[in-house]
Structure 1
Amino acid sequence: MLALLTGIAYQVGDEVRAENFAHQAADFGDGSALVTLAEARMETGDRNEAETLYRRAADLSHPDALLALGNIHREARERIAAERLYRQAIDAGLNGVGLTEARRALADICEQSGRQSEAEQWRRKAASGIQRFQLRSLSDIQQRSGGKDAAEKAFEKYAADGDGTALMILAEMREEAGDHIGAEQYAHRAAEAGVMDGFNYLAIKRANAGDLVSSERLARLATDGGSAWALWELARVGSDEPNWEKVIRYGLAADGCPADPWW
């Protein structure tokens, strides 16, 4: 909850409250808010402060912080430190797109170090099926908020003010509860507030549940709003099908259909 409050406070320009929330969470052993603040610092170009925040979150074994530090060391061509951090991130429970990213990075590092067999193992793991994407565990959010009903009530309060992050989480909560119509309604409201990941998260959840038609429809809605990662994930996993192979190779046309060959 404090991580979400940190993000909301930062989005509305209240940096003092954002930092207070982040450090309160860290005092309770939760590095999520520090990661949220670090990501905001990266977006504004304050890399030094972001790295400091990531390191504090990494000291709490936060997997996303360990991943971010791995990327920082990799950019600096410090392969040994980067590899250690990627492995720590995976051991700490990294999941979703972050897990795929870490596995691909480890594959590249192993290849550069002449460990071809290990590199191939990491590549196979990175390509193994659709990943499950979540902002963070809903059960964790609900537990920290005093239960499911209390969590929904808290997020409804922010959603009433048009907060896209709260609307996105409510979409996921409704999906988990089996209310697919309500979930999509919240995802549409989140999109109106500029947050497309409500569609993305629902798309991945529906794909994991075997509803590929609904999944593709939601992923295309997200893509229309400028966020294509769910659609690309669907394309990657279904790359043996002709249409998805075209999407990966040539992208999408303006009407959302696979583009014709252009090279």
Structure 2
Amino acid sequence: MRELHWDDEGAKAFYRRAADAGDSGALVCIAQLQDKAGDHDGAQATYWQAADRGNPAAFVHLARMREEAGDHDRAEVLYRLAADTGFAYMNPIGAGIHARWPDGLDPNGKPSQPWDKAKLLSDLPNS
């Protein structure tokens, strides 16, 4: 809200109150403001706080930070943590996950095979 009026410090204070009341999404917003201001270490720590409180978006943001740092192995682990919550397919921020595994992941963690729509339709009984 306040960010729209270029008051990042006021927005951060607002989000801090919400985070203190238990809103993990507010922590993600604080981390985004920290990252925007160039405080990447602070942003990473705040994203981890949000992740520890169960916010799946935090894993996606952390994965992107790891990718930008060239740590692709760690990024993949973080993307998988977010994917395990189902977050990637519920929210556009999970586009990095969808790009990696467009057909999702099987329960064993391996990429799912694409669906063969024609075969699925041909296997349906005629009614």
* Superposition TM-score tier, normalisation by shorter sequence: 0.5 to 0.7
Q: In 2, distance between residues paired with 1:100 and 1:32?
A: 18
TM-score, normalised by the number of residues in structure 2 = 0.63
Work out the number of aligned pairs and report it.
Answer: 106
Bigger Cα Rg: 1
Query: In 1, are the aligned partners of 2:8 and 2:33 still within 8 Å (CA)?
Result: no
Which one of the candidate residues 74, 78, 97 is aligned to 1:81?
74
As a proportion of its length, which structure holds more helix? 1
The amino acid of 2:65's aligned partner reads I
Which one of the candidate residues 67, 91, 99 is aligned to 2:94?
99
Q: In 2, distance between residues paired with 1:41 and 1:96?
A: 22
The Cα shift of 1:102 comes to 1.2
> Matches of residues 243-258 of structure 1 in structure 2 within 5 Å?
none
Let me know the Cα RMSD of the aligned residues: 2.7
1:26 has 2:19 as partner: yes
Q: In 2, distance between residues paired with 1:68 and 1:47?
A: 11
1:198-219, CA deviations, whole angstroms, 9 ceiling, x for partnerless residues? xxxxxxxxxxxxxxxxxxxxxx
Q: In 2, distance between residues paired with 1:74 and 1:54?
A: 15
Hey, what does 2:60 align to over in structure 1? 67
Query: In 2, are the aligned partners of 1:35 and 1:64 still within 8 Å (CA)?
Result: yes
> What are structure 1's unaligned runs of at least 5 residues?
1-7, 108-117, 126-263
1:42 has 2:27 as partner: no
Query: In 2, are the aligned partners of 1:62 and 1:92 still within 8 Å (CA)?
Result: no
1:11 has 2:4 as partner: yes
The share of aligned pairs that are identical, in percent, is 30
The Cα shift of 1:66 comes to 0.8
Larger RCO (CA under 8 A, 6+ residues apart): 2
The amino acid of 2:92's aligned partner reads V
